[in-house]
Amino acid sequence: MQRNFKSRAGLAGVFAAVLVTAACGGGGTSSSGASTTAATTTTTAAAAADPVKWTGTFCEGIGPTIEGVMALLKTMFEGGAEDPAVQKAALLDYSGKAGKSMSEAGEKLDALGAPSANAQELHDELVKFFTESGKTATEVNTELAKLDPADPEFSAKLEKLGGDQADPSKLQEQIKKLQEDPELAAAFKQAPECVAMAETLKGLGG
């Protein structure tokens, strides 16, 4: 029982670590000196999304997921791994927040459109990532709600939920692309949602 919960929470921890490292690197580092003034002054095609709003939507989407992961890990380290009912409540909270925030981010990014022609492929990949990850997390939440913590098979059933839906390497690749784009890297530092997320992560030791 403890091992299964730790295994699932461990995956969430890896996911969080990727987000923390990437978000802090994208939000606080001045790796491109000239890029900090580019985001709001550069205008592409009329149909292109504002880079600051676009990156803000991205950060808004992953923020609640990071918070949910941290709450989940806190519960585990405080003894929740020994109590199936506490495990279920913590995982329900995490998957609920992740499903909602990522699904909404996918919809919002899709509605905004790409911030530039060069970012179109990245935009499409992120819309797909958020949409699919949000859907999976929501499905896991629904199935998890049906499980009975008193069931002797609770741990085994819990372990089967979700599969490998949260491969952190995929999101890490997308964040790296964001950081390597001068305009989007600058927007990361200006978007209020990204600035707030970076500050939260600093407080968490990120």
Domain ranges of the chain: 2-23+48-203
> Is the pTM here over 0.75, yes or no?
no
pLDDT in tens, the chain (206 residues): 444 444 444 444 444 444 444 444 543 333 333 333 333 334 434 468 999 999 999 988 888 877 777 787 788 788 777 788 988 888 888 888 888 998 999 999 999 999 998 889 889 988 998 898 888 888 888 998 999 999 999 888 887 775 554 455 666 677 778 778 888 889 988 999 988 877 777 755 54
Q: How many C-beta atoms lie closer than 10 Å to residue 192's C-beta?
A: 11
> pLDDT tens for residues 155-187?
888 877 755 544 556 666 777 787 788 888 899
> pLDDT tens for residues 127-137?
998 898 888 88
Using only C-alpha atoms, the chain has a radius of gyration, in whole angstroms, of 18
Residue 10 has what pLDDT? 41
**Rounded to the nearest 5°, which phi and psi values hold at 161?**
-70, 135
Asked whether the beta carbons of 2 and 48 are under 8 A apart, the reply is no
> pLDDT tens for residues 143-159?
989 999 999 998 888 87
How many whole angstroms separate alpha carbon 48 and alpha carbon 71?
36
Residue 35 has what pLDDT? 37
Angle between helices 51-77 and 192-203 (to 10 degrees): 20
- Single-letter amino acid, residue 7: S
Structure tokens at 69: 């992961």
Residue 98 has what pLDDT? 85
